[in-house]
Amino acid sequence: MCRNIRTLHNFEPPATTDEVDAAALQYVRKIAGAAKPSQANAEVFERAVAAVAEATRELLDGLTTTAPPKDREVEAAKARARAELRYAR
């Protein structure tokens, strides 16, 4: 599950709220060991996702770098090229 969590720091445009929330959800799913919580655990699961998302936003807001921001389209093209090599038959 955590393979879907992507680097969010130092991109132009910056990470969106949806991207941060998706990463938080994937993290909590991995830790909990379940893609969807039971009804009994739904509330604590959602609180954990919100807490992780807030911590992620705080981290991203506080990080600094001197490196130029990466272009999302260029990085996506690189990832597609790596996947083609990895999964070529």
Write out the residue range of the structural domain in which residue 41 sits: 11-88
Quote the pTM value: 0.82
Is residue 82 predicted with pLDDT exceeding 50?
Answer: yes
Query: Is 3 within a domain?
Result: no
Query: Is 74 within a domain?
Result: yes
Query: Is 49 within a domain?
Result: yes
Q: Do residues 30 and 2 touch, judged by C-beta distance below 8 A?
A: yes
Q: How many other β-carbons are positioned within 10 Å of the β-carbon of residue 25?
A: 20
Is residue 77 predicted with pLDDT exceeding 50?
Answer: yes
State both tokens at 85.
């090599």
**Which one has a higher pLDDT value, 86 or 52?**
52
* Predicted confidence (pLDDT) per residue in 5-42, tens digit: 788 999 988 999 999 999 999 999 999 999 999 999 99
Percent of the chain residues past pLDDT 90, beyond the cut: 80
How many structural domains does the chain have?
1
